[in-house]
Every structure is written in structure tokens, then in C-alpha cells.
Chains A and B, each alone.
Chain A
Amino acid sequence: MTDQSWEILSNQFVAVAGVLYFLALISILIEWASLRRLPAEEVVTTGRTAMFGRLGLILTGMAVVAHFVALVGRGMAADPNRVPWGNMYEFTLTGTFVVAAGYLLLRGRHGLAWMAPIVVTFVLSLLMVDVIWLHEPVAPLTEALFSPWLVIHVVSAILATGAFTLAGICSALYLVKDRARPRQTGYLARVPSPAVLDRVSYRLHSFGFPIWTFAVLITGPIWAHQAWSSYWNWDPKEVWAFITWVVYAAYLHARSTAGWKGRNAAIVALVALATLWFNFIGINFFSSTSQHSYASGAARIETRG
């Protein structure tokens, strides 16, 4: 296959993934709509509701596979072939993939079935934003990105982003569930108890935090040192990655501080998630000084006159 046909394939599979996520979302919504009226303890294993549940899961799985094919195609379309992490479009494509795949992987282990409508909505909307506003044709990497650190640095940053996002969904639901009065039916009744949400959220955070530390404070500085002559430049992206790190550190502390555990810790986690996503997408648009602004795919020439 030529590079061009790989690129077309990638674009087509992004569309396929989008359609599959959409169909999955519809199935999941039908499932949850009919579960809404049943008491929360009742587990439905047969009939139409269960069928839509399974269908939703299968469609999500297929969407994730299509999403993966799109990523591979993106990498193969470049000359020379490379990891598909050269610009914002590709970062977002990968980030949403990690969120969706992470959800599927952890679903059984942590009982995350309740997360289906949220994760699929989140991934679908971000994917649409990605295709509509961030799409760029395949291009060779900018000079500074030619480094083995690209793989290590970006993989760890995106993995941590995925884990933090799932963890943030748990924390958000924790806040909602904690406030709402207990009910026998409805969506919230099927969301696990605040204690469980808090624990799952903590586990996902403690998976993400060391990886984020590795990405931001080890691989980032090593690479920055090689490419930009100084391992810490207080570049806006670095500043915000540091802010994110500090706020997540605060979350871990808050969780074991009297008066902060529970509600306040969950709020801190959400603030941290906001800084994370702002850094991921926002900084590239708001700050022209960032050496990380690959959104424009520019070969950045820096002159400090």
C-alpha cells in the first residue's frame, strides 16, 4: 500500500470508529434507559435490555479496534513510518484511544460497566472535535521530534492522561453520588457506592501518577536537555505539566488528610484533570511561546536575538 492509501485508510477508520462509537452509545443508552425503572439490585441477564447491553459492549470493542487501525494507518502513512504522535490531531486520536481501551481493559476488574455511557460520550465528542478542528494531513515529523524519546515520552504522557481521565470520571461520579439522596432506581442507583468509587478512583490515580512523573519529570527533561539545551525551560507546557503534577500530588495528600478526604480530595482530582486537559489541548492554542506548539506543525526556529 502506498502512503496515500494508508492515510485514506486511517481517515476512513476514524470515521468507522466514530460511527461504531455512536451506535454503541445508542445501544448503551437504550440499555440504561430500560434499566432505569428497575431496582438497582436486579441484574438483567436476558431479554432486550441485556441484549442492548451486550451489543453496546461489542460495538465499543469493535470501535476500539477500528480506532486502533486508524492509528496504525496514520503511522504507516508517514514517510518514514513512525509512531502517530506528531501533532495535536494524532495526540488526541491516541489519547481517546487509550481512554476507550483502558475502560474496556479495566471494566471487568473494577466493575466499570456503569461508566459506559460516560466514556463513550466522552470519546465520541473528543473524536469529533479532533476530526473537525484538529485534523491535519500526514506530515513528516518536525526536526526536534526525531528522537527515540518521542516514543517513551509521549507513550507515558498519553497513558497517564488516559488513566487520569478514567479516574476523574470516578471522582466526578463520586461527587454526584455523594450529594444525591439514595434511591432505589435510576442510573445513579446502579453506580457503585461512594466508597467504591473513591477506591477505584484512587487506584487509577495511583496507576497514572508514577507514569506522569516518569513522563514529565524524567523523560521530558532528558529530551528537553538534548533538543533545547536545558532540561527545564519553564516552557508553558512544562509549567502546566508541573502544575498538573503538583495538583495530583495534592490529591494524594488530600486523600489522607482529615477534613479533606472524600469530597475535597475528589474536587482536587477534578481540578488536576482540568489542568491536564488544558495543558494537552489548550496551551497549544493560547500560548505561542511554547516550544511544544506542534499544533501548527512548524519547524520552529528559535531566535533569542
Chain B
Amino acid sequence: MSTPTNQSLRSLDTGDTEVTPPRRPGELTLTEMLRWAWRQLTSMRTALILLLLLALAAIPGSVVPQSDVDSLKAANWQDAHPTLTPIYEKLGLFSVYSSPWFSAIYILLMVSLVGCFIPRTFVYWKAMRAAPPPAPRNLTRLPDHTSYDTDAAPEAALAAAEAELKKRHFRVVRTGDAVSAERGHLREAGNLLFHVSVLVVLVGFAVGSLFGYRGGVILVVGNGFSNNLTQYDDFVPGSLFSADDMEPFTFDVKDFDVNWLTEGPSKGQARGFDSHLEYRETPDAKPKDYDLKVNHPLKIGGTEVFLIGHGYAPVITIRDGNGDIAYSGPTIFLPTDQSFRSFGVVKAPDARPTQIGLEGEFYPTYAFTDQTGPFSAFGQATNPAISMLVYKGDLGMDSGEPQSVYQLDKADADLVRKPDGSMFRVDLAPGQKAKLPDGLGTVSFDGLQQWNKIQVSRTPGKLVALAGVVLALLGLLGSLYIRPRRIWVRARRRDGRTYIEVAGLDRSGGGDVASELHEIVSALGAGTPADRRKEES
């Protein structure tokens, strides 16, 4: 392309055309150094390389599990890769998007953006108020041009051209024997708007991640929740988050409906999750009802409540060897597949003579084949059953170290076997009870409840970010579709007729003005083309 372009922010300062007298490298003064560094940083080439680097740097975050995205998954990965984990940790690969190197790239990019945005704004400000440049001496040298002879007087021809160009929303100026016209200034405005909007988005995003929070809690249906830190199972606060900002709402999960598909290709899948909440915006407000569904969060002030998962909580009771209740209650089992085959753990540290732990699976619709072993045929609880192994001994709960409620510490516990040494399993349907060997006690499966995984999040600044993206899109449309171009018309007497030259210059780097030139010429009522010629730009 031979046409000058100004379609992006930095095309003005790309050439290293500066001529400096020969000096040895060490002779750069500090100011010159800084200026050189600044010029390098704000050059288009650097911005381009930074953009590509940003794309490259984002990749590891999609490969390595991120602890701020899915902490459980990240922890599992770390357990499975003991050698790589310390290295990855040093490199910040478990939180790529807040790591120093990722931040460095986007901060440099933003500095570079600001550094060329400001001078560009001044340039634009001047250009906007400047008159279209006078016609070049030789219009036929421009890539797109045409010429013809007419009988109209030069003055009349120029007036007609001026009128036609004004009608086409050009800014028009007469200088001597020529008319200069220019339009499409808004392209650069769009360009500048786009770049400043990127900063707005970043600010909105930063506010959200600094002051916001996100927390999750698993609630057994029938239970309640009040919005304070102690109630959450997992909680990811922003770095400037303050617990005082938490809105003091409370809610109860009254009931939960799922619609299980019993036919069709998605047979077995669940639809229409509906959690019936009763909530209060403040502890003494009037209670209100809300049907919490996927895609329909509940808004309370600036906080939103989402339903993002569900599962089963079998009610299990353990009586110890003395006949005392050592554990009783609904126990949350985490689904491991679509049929809601679920995994769970029961811990009874108070059981005597020894602590008792259960680990095993829950099947909403128990089925068995010799090939597959036990499995769940359907997600709905039509034939629920639990099948668990029993451990006795020290469950490691007295050390004071926090333990996951979904994991059993079996380091100092022994698997309980039948007296003949064969595998012992507690296989129960609701209402059934099993006696444990060695006089350890009994386990009973008393009933079945459901649980909901509720996510609560507060993201301040999200509307700022949204407004930023929308503005960026508007700017982008302007900077891509507005085509700045210049048109010149010159009229001269030649051989007793008026010789008209028309030329155009596309300044967008992607358009061609030939067709527009053609339209203008036909609108002017061009007579006979003198030496009409068009070259491919």
C-alpha cells in the first residue's frame, strides 16, 4: 500500500528517521536515555509485541488449573504433581492472571497506550480545526484520479464541484484554481475513544477484583444462611475488600425442585432447577420469596445470589460401641457424574471405643452389573442406596490442623474387615441399619435430603466495565468504518475548453476512493473523458 494510513494510534512515530550527529553510545545523557526509552515504549512496534506477548502469557492459565478459579481442582493437581508444583508455584502458574509477569505485560501495554494516546489527542485536536490541505501541484500523480474537458467556465465548474462535495458532507475549501475537500475526521475520534475505553474497562475490572468478593456455600435444603464470613465454605475476597461492606441479608432454602427427564435423548438429565428462597434484605426486614433458578440470580442491593449446583445429602447416623449417637445428620455427598453417583465421607471423632470414619458412594438409583459393579442408573432418587467402607482408629482430627470435610485422613486409621478377613461394606437403603464388626457400633441410613450450592458475589464496577466495552465497541466501529479521504478538484482553461482534474486520496488504509471519484465526476456531468485513467492502488 502506498497510501499513508492513520488507522491506528501509533502510525505517526514508526520510522526511525531521526538524524543525530555521530556520537559514541555512552554519550547519551539521562534525559536522552529516558526520552529514547519512552519513545521505544510508546512506539507502535512495542505495543504490537506487547499485545502478542499478552496473548502468549494468557495461555498457561488455560492449561494449569488456577487456584483463584477452581481451588479444589488446583489443589488436586498439586497433589498429583509433587515435583512440578514448587516450580510452578515460583513461576506463579497457579494464579497467572494476578502474577507479576502477567501484570507487567498489561501495565506496560497500558503505559504505552497512554503514552501515545495523549500526543495523538493533541494532533487530532489540531487536525480537526485545520482546513483541508491545498491541492497538490500535480493531481494526476495521485493513485486515484481522473480528468475531463467541459465547456463550463472554470469558476462555474469549481462552484458545482464545491456544491457536490458539500452535499456529500465534505469540508470544502477553495484555494486558487482548486477545491480541497476532506471528510472522515471521526475515524480518529473513534480510534481515540476505543483506546481510552480500554482504560475504562480496566478500571472497572480492577474495582471489581479489588473491592468485590465471591463466596460459595453448600446448604442442605431447609437450612438458612446469613451473609457473613463465618457462613461460607469458600470465600475469595478482593485485596481491598472489607467485611463491613457485606450486606446483612439472610435467606432460607425452603424447598428445591428438579425436573428429571425420563425419556428422549437427554433421558436422565435434570431440568428446571428451582430453589424456593425466603429472604430478608436486613435481619428485621419483612421476608420475601424468590424462585432462584439458573440464569436468574437474586439481587439484594449490590450483591447477587446464584444457584450453581445441587446434590444429595443422605441422613446417616452412627451409634458407637456404647450405643451413644456419635454422628447424626444429613451428609453432603458430591456428585461425580451425570447420574449423581456421589462421593462422601462421614467422620465420628467422638465414637468410642475408637473413632469411626465412613467413606463411600451414594447412588440415587442403585443398579448393579457384574461388569460395572454398583452404579447409578438415574439421577432421581428412585432407589437410593449408600455403599461405604468403614475405618477405625485415629482420624487425625485432634491435631488441630484444618481438614476437608470431603476427605478422610486414613494415615492412622485401619480399614474394618469382617472377622474372616474379607471386605466389609455398609450397603444400606433408607431405613436400614447395619451392625459393624468388632462391636464398633451401628450405622443407619435414615433418610435423604437435597443440597444446593449457592454462590454469592458482589462485583462493584461491573457497570463501569460494561460501559467501557460498549464505548470501546462504538469507537471501534468509528475507527474501522469511517473512511477519512481527501478529494481535490482543479479547473483550468486549456485549448479553449475547461480542463478538470479530480483526484482522491484514501487515508484509511483499507478503502478505495475510485468509485466515489467516479460518482462525483458523473454528478458533475462530466463531458468527454480527456485521459481518464485509473490505477490500482
Q: Mark A236-277, 1 if CB is under 8 A from B, else 0.
A: 100110110011011011111111110000001000000100
Q: In the bound complex, what is the Cα–Cα distance between A97 and B341 (angstroms)?
A: 39
Binds B, one of A59-67, A98-106, A117-125, A140-148: A140-148
Residue A183 lies at the interface, judged by CB distance under 8 Å to chain B: no
Nearest-CB residue, chain A, relative to B454 = A229
Q: Mark A260-302, 1 if CB is under 8 A from B, else 0.
A: 1100000010000001000000010001010000000111011
Q: In the bound complex, what is the Cα–Cα distance between A213 and B476 (angstroms)?
A: 9
Is there contact, CB below 8 Å, between B51 and A236?
no
Given the known interface contacts A254-B48, A302-B308, the answer about A246 and B54 at a Cβ–Cβ threshold of 8 Å is yes
Q: In the bound complex, what is the Cα–Cα distance between A217 and B265 (angstroms)?
A: 33
Provide the residues of chain A in CB contact with B335, threshold 8 Å.
301, 303
Given the known interface contacts A140-B261, A210-B476, A305-B234, the answer about A218 and B470 at a Cβ–Cβ threshold of 8 Å is yes
Out of A138, A142, A234, A302, name the residue touching B453 (CB < 8 Å). Answer: A302
Given the known interface contacts A242-B58, A301-B335, the answer about A139 and B265 at a Cβ–Cβ threshold of 8 Å is yes
Q: Mark B291-315, 1 if CB is under 8 A from A, else 0.
A: 0001111000000101011110000
Q: In the bound complex, what is the Cα–Cα distance between A297 and B266 (angstroms)?
A: 8
Binds A, one of B63-71, B126-134, B320-328, B437-445: B63-71
Q: In the bound complex, what is the Cα–Cα distance between A233 and B208 (angstroms)?
A: 12
Given the known interface contacts A222-B466, A253-B44, the answer about A243 and B295 at a Cβ–Cβ threshold of 8 Å is no
Nearest-CB residue, chain A, relative to B509 = A256
Is there contact, CB below 8 Å, between A255 and B480?
no
Q: Mark B44-65, 1 if CB is under 8 A from A, else 0.
A: 1101100110110011011101
Q: Mark A141-177, 1 if CB is under 8 A from B, else 0.
A: 0111011000000000000000000000000000000
Nearest-CB residue, chain B, relative to A7 = B265
Count the A residues whose beta carbon is within 8 Å of the partner chain — how many?
70
Residue B25 lies at the interface, judged by CB distance under 8 Å to chain A: no
Nearest-CB residue, chain A, relative to B407 = A305
Distance in Å: Cβ of A178 to nearest Cβ of chain B = 13
Q: Mark A108-129, 1 if CB is under 8 A from B, else 0.
A: 0000000000000000000000
Residue A184 lies at the interface, judged by CB distance under 8 Å to chain B: no
Nearest-CB residue, chain A, relative to B71 = A304
Out of B58, B273, B456, B509, name the residue touching A143 (CB < 8 Å). Answer: B273
**Chain B interface extent, by class:** 35 or more
Provide the residues of chain A in CB contact with B338, threshold 8 Å.
298-299
Residue B481 lies at the interface, judged by CB distance under 8 Å to chain A: yes
Q: In the bound complex, what is the Cα–Cα distance between A191 and B466 (angstroms)?
A: 43
Q: In the bound complex, what is the Cα–Cα distance between A256 and B188 (angstroms)?
A: 14
Out of A140, A206, A227, name the residue touching B271 (CB < 8 Å). Answer: A140
Q: In the bound complex, what is the Cα–Cα distance between A113 and B470 (angstroms)?
A: 36
Distance in Å: Cβ of A297 to nearest Cβ of chain B = 7
Distance in Å: Cβ of A295 to nearest Cβ of chain B = 14
Binds A, one of B3-11, B173-181, B240-248: B3-11
Nearest-CB residue, chain B, relative to A225 = B462
Out of B334, B459, B510, name the residue touching A199 (CB < 8 Å). Answer: B510
Q: In the bound complex, what is the Cα–Cα distance between A176 and B32 (angstroms)?
A: 43
Q: In the bound complex, what is the Cα–Cα distance between A250 and B52 (angstroms)?
A: 7
Nearest-CB residue, chain A, relative to B16 = A258
Residue A193 lies at the interface, judged by CB distance under 8 Å to chain B: yes
Provide the residues of chain B in CB contact with A209, threshold 8 Å.
476, 480
Given the known interface contacts A143-B273, A199-B512, A303-B309, the answer about A258 and B15 at a Cβ–Cβ threshold of 8 Å is yes
Provide the residues of chain A in CB contact with B306, threshold 8 Å.
227-229
Out of A210, A234, A258, A287, name the residue touching B473 (CB < 8 Å). Answer: A210
Chain B 52-99 residues near chain A, CB threshold 8 A? 52, 54-55, 58-59, 61-63, 65-66, 68-73, 97
Residue A203 lies at the interface, judged by CB distance under 8 Å to chain B: yes
Q: In the bound complex, what is the Cα–Cα distance between A254 and B406 (angstroms)?
A: 52
Distance in Å: Cβ of A36 to nearest Cβ of chain B = 24
Provide the residues of chain A in CB contact with B476, threshold 8 Å.
209-210, 213
Provide the residues of chain B in CB contact with A250, threshold 8 Å.
48, 51-52, 55
Chain B 446-476 residues near chain A, CB threshold 8 A? 453, 455-457, 459, 462, 465-466, 469-470, 472-473, 476
Is there contact, CB below 8 Å, between B334 and A221?
no
Chain A 69-86 residues near chain B, CB threshold 8 A? 79
Nearest-CB residue, chain B, relative to A228 = B308
Is there contact, CB below 8 Å, between B309 and A139?
no
Given the known interface contacts A213-B476, A229-B308, A289-B65, the answer about A139 and B264 at a Cβ–Cβ threshold of 8 Å is yes
Distance in Å: Cβ of A44 to nearest Cβ of chain B = 22
- Give the interface centre of A255, A268, A304 by most chain B CB atoms within 10 Å: A304
Provide the residues of chain A in CB contact with B537, threshold 8 Å.
195
Residue B186 lies at the interface, judged by CB distance under 8 Å to chain A: no
Is there contact, CB below 8 Å, between B294 and A146?
yes
Provide the residues of chain B in CB contact with A287, threshold 8 Å.
62-63
Q: In the bound complex, what is the Cα–Cα distance between A60 and B44 (angstroms)?
A: 43
Given the known interface contacts A196-B536, A209-B480, the answer about A275 and B10 at a Cβ–Cβ threshold of 8 Å is no
Distance in Å: Cβ of A162 to nearest Cβ of chain B = 17
Distance in Å: Cβ of B476 to nearest Cβ of chain A = 5
Provide the residues of chain A in CB contact with B536, threshold 8 Å.
193, 195-196
Given the known interface contacts A228-B306, A229-B214, A289-B73, the answer about A257 and B11 at a Cβ–Cβ threshold of 8 Å is yes
Provide the residues of chain B in CB contact with A233, threshold 8 Å.
69
Out of B70, B270, B457, B510, name the residue touching A229 (CB < 8 Å). Answer: B457
Residue B404 lies at the interface, judged by CB distance under 8 Å to chain A: yes
Out of A202, A206, A227, A234, name the residue touching B61 (CB < 8 Å). Answer: A234
Is there contact, CB below 8 Å, between B71 and A257?
no
Is there contact, CB below 8 Å, between A234 and B55?
no
Given the known interface contacts A202-B510, A253-B48, A305-B404, the answer about A143 and B294 at a Cβ–Cβ threshold of 8 Å is yes
Provide a sorted-by-A list of 29 A–B residue pairs whose CB atoms are within 8 angstroms. Answer: A139-B264, A144-B295, A146-B294, A210-B477, A213-B473, A214-B473, A217-B472, A218-B466, A221-B465, A225-B459, A230-B457, A231-B465, A233-B69, A234-B61, A239-B58, A239-B59, A247-B51, A250-B48, A253-B48, A258-B15, A258-B44, A260-B48, A289-B73, A299-B338, A301-B311, A302-B308, A303-B218, A305-B233, A305-B234
Known: A209-B476, A218-B473, A305-B72. 4 other contacts (CB 8 A): A256-B6, A289-B70, A302-B453, A305-B406
The list of the 10 closest CB pairs from A to B, nearest first, reads A236-B62, A258-B14, A206-B480, A229-B306, A250-B51, A239-B62, A229-B455, A246-B55, A139-B266, A202-B510
